[in-house]
Amino acid sequence: MSAFFTTILFIPIYNMLMYLVAVVPGHQVALAIIALTIIIRIILLPSSLKASKSTIEMQKIQPLLNAVKVKFKGDQMKQSQEMQRLFKEHKVSPYGSCLPLIVQMIVLIVFYRVILIGFNSGHFNLLYSFIPKPAEINLRFLGINVSKPDLWLLPILAGALQFVQTKMMPQPPQSKGANDPMAMMNKQMIYFFPLITIFIARALPSGLAIYWVITSAVMILQQWYINNQFKLGFWGKFPAVPISELPEYTIDTASTSAGTELHPEHEKIIEADEKKIRAKGVEITVRKRK
């Protein structure tokens, strides 16, 4: 198993890094890491742009999704069928895919191993025959040794950039309330997460902190671009939507399953259902009552 991962992940990434070390000016490992990080981000760019776009589109129909969650609380299957229908109706699709997340995680681990063992000529036997052997390997970069932990500059930079990046990711308009525990959690994590990053980065070789810094910087640029596309401003703020302009949601009466757990809001929604029966089904209003 371990040999398998070494062949398909470790050795290719090691070769890429060493190739870059051989061609960058001054044979600076730090520059090679920066270049490799940018290459990885470019490979992941199409999928990550699409995922951010679909997240914002999804957040726009969040009130409808919340209504579905309330109405079919306790019936996962029904919930997801109803959501799939909403996605189709509003022409959005969850574009997030789990594979790129795992790929990024694995790349980080492989990077770690490469940086730990990679920088001496003793491992040149791992190089493919067509990769030039670097004439020199320069570990120093701006007074920092990339194979040793850097205690201040890079970890703090990594934490700060990560903070900016998470802060820029738009929040759905309806989850700002203090009554949503997950939204509260998210808010705390925006501050707590960068601190974890700082502590982890202090313990790892600074080459990894460089990877982290560049990844966050590229993701900030990406998010900036996306936020501009949706006219949300640099910090990705949704404009406050007047209650009267929140969308309405249609649902089939037949789809209310027996045994669905009652939710505090459930009554109100059913009530709204009954008032607005239409030819094809029922329309519920997802507006919060004053």
- Which chain residues interact with another protein by CB under 8 A? 46-47, 50, 55, 58-59, 61-62, 65-66, 76, 80-81, 83-84, 86-87, 92-102, 169-172, 174-175, 180, 182-183, 185-186, 189, 193
Q: For the CB of residue 122, give the shortest distance to another protein in the complex, in Å.
A: 34
For residue 285, the cross-strand partners are 248
Nearer to another protein by Cβ, of 134 and 236: the residue is 236
**Least distance to another protein from the beta carbon of 72, Å?**
13
Our CA dihedral for 20, 49, 231, 55, rounded to 10 degrees, sits at -140
Minimum distance, C-beta of residue 4 to another protein, in the bound complex (Å): 13
Specify the residue, 82 or 150, whose C-beta has the smaller distance to another protein. Answer: 82
CA 88 from centroid of its chain's CA atoms: 23
**Distance in Å, CB of 11 to another protein, minimum:** 21
Q: Which is nearer to another protein, 11 or 51 (CB)?
A: 51
Nearest distance, CB of residue 102 and another protein, angstroms = 6
Q: How far is the CB of 62 from another protein (least distance, A)?
A: 4
Least distance in angstroms from the C-beta of 99 to another protein: 4
SS3 for the chain is: CHHHHHHHHHHHHHHHHHHHHHHCHHHEHHHHHHHHHHHHHHHHHHHHHHHHHHHHHHHHCHHHHHHHHHHCCCCHHHHHHHHHHHHHHCCCCCCCCHHHHHHHHHHHHHHHHHHHHCCCHHHHHHCCCCCCCCCCCECEECCEECCCCCCCHHHHHHHHHHHHHHHHCCCCHHHHCCCCHHHHHHHHHHHHHHHHHHHHHHHCCHHHHHHHHHHHHHHHHHHHHHHHHCCCCCCCCCCCCCHHHCCEEEECHHHCCCCCCCCCCHHHHHHHHHHCECCCCEEEECCCCC
Q: Which is nearer to another protein, 53 or 276 (CB)?
A: 53
Of residues 101 and 195, the one with the C-beta less far from another protein? 101
Nearer to another protein, 28 or 165 (CB): 165
Nearer to another protein, 22 or 190 (CB): 190
Output the smallest distance, CB 66 to another protein, in A: 7
Taking the C-alpha atoms of residue 8 and residue 39, their distance in angstroms, rounded to an integer, is 18
CB 240 within 8 A of CB 176: no
Which CB, 63 or 134, lies closer to another protein? 63
Task: Report the alpha-carbon distance of residue 43 to residue 103 in Å, rounded.
Answer: 11
